[in-house]
Structure 1
Amino acid sequence: MAMVKSGWLHRQSTILHRWKRNWFDLWVDGWLVFYNNQQRRDMEDDIDMRDDCIDIRNFYACQELNPPEGKMRDAFLQIVCGRYTSDRLCTRSDSIWSSQVYFIHKNGNCSAHTHLNAHKKRA
């Protein structure tokens, strides 16, 4: 299976809401996999973007959330996987965010296009 994108991002923990740096791999089959480090020895979490993702929100769609200190607000996104579960991520830049969302929208079943279009209008 081919990898679409790979790199570092910040991910917010669900319980303590602390930002932690994780290595991620986004695969062409829609899997987004998080690791503790670049060596990929310990998988921390994974999301099947095609089946589990129901929405992707950029910063404009979730103003109540704050990205990690020192990070751009435009690089923030939230992946909603159900009524009570979501992953809050912050990438290095808006261009990385856009390419990830475009891929997920193109290959997944979630409603990323709504928030992607809203983001483009404000940019």
Structure 2
Amino acid sequence: MAASLFTKEGDGMIVKAGWIFRQKAFFRKWKKSWIVVCSGGPVRVFKNKNASRPQKSYDLKMDCIVIKTGRQCQYLLPPNGIDSSALIEIVLTGDRAIKLCANDSETARMWTSALMKAQSGKDLPTPRWERRNLNKEEVLNLEYRSCWYACCRNNQVDDF
């Protein structure tokens, strides 16, 4: 397993990790970076997948002001051959920003979703079944039997 996929204590679980273009601040050149997004808010930028120390580290839960995507990133130009709908800009406190670009708009949506989960700080996914239509006893029974991480599908809760 890659060294960058090990999280520090308190980081939460990894929401998304992978290669994405990141615009460097000095010459504004796009460079591929390995980025790890954790549910507790940390975003770590690594030189490569096997790096043990991050080049940059950000805390979205504490520092993120807004996450812009696509046409909202008015002053960004994507790398050659990539549509502007794949752009992502994370505006941080202290006049800082992380400028990212995925390979396509679908991948950009997945990155944006992961970044928003990290920003919200929610560690567990919301169950798919609706609580509104159940009485208190049914809710307690389902919570007791459910596996919140992986077993909720098709509005049913499966037993192990």
Q: CA RMSD in A?
A: 1.7
Q: TM-score, normalised by structure 1?
A: 0.78
Hey, what's the Cα distance between the residues in 2 that align with 1:3 and 1:90?
Answer: 20
Greater RCO (CA < 8 Å, at least 6 residues apart): 1
21, 26, 51: which one aligns with 1:40: 51
Between the two proteins, the alignment pairs up a number of residues equal to 109
Moved over 3 A (4+): none
Question: Per the alignment, do residues 12 and 107 of structure 1 end up closer, same or farther by CA in structure 2, a change over 3 Å counting?
Answer: closer
Hey, what's the Cα distance between the residues in 1 that align with 2:93 and 2:111?
Answer: 20
Q: Percent identity?
A: 26
Structure 2 residue aligned with 1:55? 66
Hey, what's the Cα distance between the residues in 2 that align with 1:77 and 1:65?
Answer: 9
* Alpha-carbon offset, residue 75 of structure 1: 1.0
Hey, what's the Cα distance between the residues in 2 that align with 1:67 and 1:98?
Answer: 16
20, 25, 29: which one aligns with 1:14: 25
Structure 1 residue aligned with 2:37? 26
* Alpha-carbon offset, residue 106 of structure 1: 4.1
Hey, what's the Cα distance between the residues in 2 that align with 1:83 and 1:62?
Answer: 19
103, 116, 120: which one aligns with 1:105: 116
Hey, what's the Cα distance between the residues in 2 that align with 1:106 and 1:8?
Answer: 19
Structure 2 residue aligned with 1:120? none
**Conserved? CA contact 2:15–2:118, under 8 Å:** no
SS of the equivalent of 2:113 reads helix
Hey, what's the Cα distance between the residues in 2 that align with 1:54 and 1:33?
Answer: 18
97, 102, 122: which one aligns with 1:86: 97
Q: Please tell me whether Structure 1 or Structure 2 has the larger radius of gyration of its CA atoms.
A: 2
Structure with more of its chain in strand, by fraction: 1
Hey, what's the Cα distance between the residues in 1 that align with 2:67 and 2:59?
Answer: 13
